[in-house]
Structure 1
Amino acid sequence: MTDPTDPVGTGPLSQIAQAVYHHMALGVWLVLGCAPTLVMLTLLAPSPLAVPFFVLAQLPVAPVLSAGLHAVRAWRGEPEEGPFALLWRGLRANTWDVLRWWIPTVLVATVLAVNVWASGTVPGAELLRPVAAAAAALLVLWAGHMLVITTFFSFRTRDAARVGAAMLVVQWRVTLVYISLLVVALGITAFGSDVILALSAWALVSVLEAVSRPVVVDVTARFTRPCDGRRTATTTRPPAR
């Protein structure tokens, strides 16, 4: 039962309704934000020539996911703020920081994907397939850490890249969870479709925010310092978000 003296919205039913509303808004945001990618993937035929376009179609994904991570974390501190306002705030705050590493990452992933997919058409190139596949997997895991770091901190891109590489090893438990999420996403795509993955992306983003909290704590402790009651970066441009 809700105490009559409590502010409106503190009862269990109100909390559940608010959580459902927030995640519905997150789901709509992710579907709309990734709509260009979904359209491109639907139009592409599975062939080696389509691999570069398939990878390049992922360009809008990282900024949209970053805004989702920002909103999921902000809901805990600003429960009364509208979810779409928080999502839009995260998009405006993080898009440029995310794109500065995401665009080169997508270009590198394009080269690796071509090496994996089309290596059978070139004599002797099959030897590169396992190396390219391992590099692509490592790149995706690094990108997961980079997504978290550039969402919640204002590091310079080269420093964020170093921190992301360090977190791959230092926070190896979180990296293993990232591998699990990647396997789940690939399974949904393989046995379902890209549309199903987009519709369930809200759950993956919520889980990603939850499991990435040790990374945020570790980065804050290792690479930021207190300054006038705030946390500023030790080797990067302040302030940390």
Structure 2
Amino acid sequence: MSDTSQVRRQFGDGPLSRAAARIHILLVVELLLLLTTLPGLVPLVLLGRDASNLPLVAACLLPVGPAVSAALYALRHQRPELTDLRPAAVFWRGYRTNLPGVLRIWVPALLWLTVIAVSLAHRVAAAVPSWWVAPLVLVGVGVTLGAANALVITSLFAFRTRDVLRLALHFLVRAPGVTVGTAALLAAAAGITAVGSDAVLAMLGSVLVLALLRTAEPMVDTIRKDFTA
């Protein structure tokens, strides 16, 4: 029995085995991301790129928050060893555990961004002064970056919602590297959507989530060190 265990450990510890395990994890997480976002992804792809569809776009994006949260959880907690691969089980555990907390953050963030986007798209009809454009854009960027931080935090830690929001806003300033990295990642995602389509972005979902996780590592490590027992 010990010889068998030793062989399994050696089989799962080599560089090729680890690389294969990571690819397997990314593929499984990608499939589960597509599955859990499918109810919103299908109508989102079919919607025309018109400002009048902005509220519908927000509704289609509702499943994205819980799905990304579960993917963050799975990629963080799954060990990359061929002898112990359970990315699907870890994904669903993260989905169930994080769903209430994620929705308390994701839904208000989408509402804020929808109001800002609609106000900018229909500025004349909404009687929004031209000098309000820059502040509204800055608020939108702040909400987006804060929501990204909050999504990472609530996916990996068991804090109250108000504490998650405080930490998310706190690290926008305290961790400028994380903020800039997240902004660059979101800009890349927007560029992919603009050049390609929402479907192309969805197909790269697990890679983008992994990039978000790697970008947020300094924040995650600081929270673990300073704010958890």
Q: Is the 8 A contact 1:119 1:128 kept in 2?
A: no
Match for residue 56 of structure 2?
53
Task: Name the SS for the 1:34 alignment partner.
Answer: helix
**1:102–1:5 Cα change, 3 Å:** closer
Equivalent of 1:96, from 100, 105, 129?
Answer: 100
Instruction: Note the alpha carbon deviations across 1:144-198, whole angstroms, 9 max, x for none.
Output: 1101110111111111111111010001110000011011001100001000000
Equivalent of 1:156, from 146, 160, 167?
Answer: 160
CA–CA separation in structure 2 for the residues paired with 1:167 and 1:159: 12
**1:6–1:45 Cα change, 3 Å:** closer
CA–CA separation in structure 2 for the residues paired with 1:53 and 1:35: 15
Matched, 1:42 2:77: no
TM-score, length-scaled by structure 2: 0.90
TM-score, length-scaled by structure 1: 0.86
Say how many residue pairs are matched.
223
Structure 1 vs Structure 2: percent identity of aligned residues? 35
Matched, 1:117 2:131: no
**1:58–1:6 Cα change, 3 Å:** closer
Give how far 1:6 is off.
Answer: 4.8
Task: Name the SS for the 2:158 alignment partner.
Answer: coil
Q: Is the 8 A contact 2:21 2:81 kept in 1?
A: no
Match for residue 33 of structure 2?
30
Task: Name the SS for the 1:119 alignment partner.
Answer: coil
Give how far 1:12 is off.
Answer: 2.5
Matched, 1:18 2:25: no
Q: Is the 8 A contact 1:189 1:197 kept in 2?
A: yes
Give how far 1:141 is off.
Answer: 0.3
CA–CA separation in structure 1 for the residues paired with 2:148 and 2:81: 25
Give how far 1:78 is off.
Answer: 7.5
Q: Is the 8 A contact 2:70 2:91 kept in 1?
A: yes
Bigger shift: 171-180 or 213-222? Answer: 213-222
| Larger RCO: 1 or 2 (CA < 8 Å, sep 6+) | 2
Instruction: Note the alpha carbon deviations across 1:124-152, whole angstroms, 9 max, x for none.
Output: 54333222221111110001110111011
Equivalent of 1:183, from 184, 187, 197?
Answer: 187
Structure 1 residue runs without a partner (length 5+): 225-230, 232-241
The AA in structure 1 aligned to 2:145 is: L
Give how far 1:104 is off.
Answer: 1.2
Moved over 6 A (4+): none
**1:78–1:159 Cα change, 3 Å:** farther
Q: Is the 8 A contact 1:63 1:99 kept in 2?
A: yes
CA–CA separation in structure 2 for the residues paired with 1:63 and 1:98: 6
Match for residue 72 of structure 2?
69
Equivalent of 2:177, from 162, 167, 173?
Answer: 173
**1:107–1:15 Cα change, 3 Å:** same
**1:6–1:39 Cα change, 3 Å:** closer
CA–CA separation in structure 2 for the residues paired with 1:51 and 1:69: 27
Match for residue 238 of structure 1?
none
Q: Is the 8 A contact 1:115 1:128 kept in 2?
A: no
CA–CA separation in structure 1 for the residues paired with 2:7 and 2:71: 34
> Over aligned residue pairs, what C-alpha RMSD do you find?
2.0
**1:75–1:6 Cα change, 3 Å:** closer
The AA in structure 2 aligned to 1:44 is: L
Bigger shift: 117-126 or 141-150? Answer: 117-126
